[in-house]
Every structure is written in C-alpha cells, then in structure tokens.
Amino acid sequence: MIRLTEYLPLIEGVNWTPALSPETVEIEGAYVCDMLSDVMGSAKPKQAWITIMKHLNVIAVASMTGIPVIVFSKNNVPDDAVIDKATEEGIVLVSSPLSSFDLAGILYKLLAK
C-alpha cells in the first residue's frame, strides 16, 4: 500500500481536484483499461484507474466500483463538469504526460518496494 502523494512526483502528476487531499488516498494496485464495463467487472476498491477516457461516465464508473483516483495518461485533461462531479464524489483526478504503460510500471515498482 502507498499513498497517492508518493506516486504523484514520480509521474509529473497534476491534481485537478485540489479540494480533495491526495495524502488521504491509499493505493493497493491499479487497473489499466479504457473499456468501462471491463473496469466495472474487474477493478477493485483502492485501485488507481489508469485510462485515456475522460468523459462524465468515467466518474460514475469509478464511483460505482469504489476507485479512489483516476490517472489520465498522455496529458489528457478532463473538462470542468467532470472535475466538479469527481470532487462531489470524492474521486481524485490526476493528469500525467506519461503513457499508460509507464504509469503502471512506475506504480508497480513503487508498490513492490
């Protein structure tokens, strides 16, 4: 288990939900996927979700599944309506310039320490 604050500097992560504090977010793994039903079927609570999908339904999927943080790869930035909804649902949104592969690899190494 790590805290989100340990991961963010390693991925040049930008937090789009400043109203939520990343130090309270605990991560035990990640799920890397852009198909929403696969995420709902297989992702688990306390996993970060790494994706390029950034529309409003992504927040609902994270909320239903119990995902505490979504990491958008390749500098994908969610729009304001998505950020507002995520803030309301207590889901941290982070953008990173890295690819989904690199984001997963860095987190994997961090969790294995």
Partner 1 sequence: MQACVAVKYSMADYWNIAPGMENALKECFSRDAEADVTLEFSIPEKDFNNAGKGSSEVKNLLKRLGVDSEVLRRIAVASYEAEINVAAHSHGGEMTSLIYDDMIHIKFIDEGPGIADIAQAMVPGYSTADDLVREFGFGAGLGLPNIQKNSDALHISSAAGESTLLEFLVFFAQ
Tell me the sheet residues that pair with 93.
70
| Residue placing its CB nearer to partner 1 in the complex, 15 or 63 | 63
CA atoms within 13 A of residue 19's CA, in its CB half-sphere: 9
41 binding partner 1? (CB under 8 A) = yes
CA–CA separation, 40 and 72 (whole Å): 17
Q: What's the min distance (Å) between Cβ of 35 and partner 1?
A: 4
Strands 26-27 and 14-15: unpaired
From 66, 74, 75, 105, residue interacting with partner 1 (rule: CB under 8 A): 66
Residues 7-36 that bind partner 1 (CB under 8 A): 34-36
| Residue placing its CB nearer to partner 1 in the complex, 60 or 111 | 60
CA–CA separation, 34 and 81 (whole Å): 20
Q: Which residues of the chain form contacts with partner 1 (CB under 8 A)? A: 34-38, 40-41, 45, 53, 55-58, 60-61, 63-66
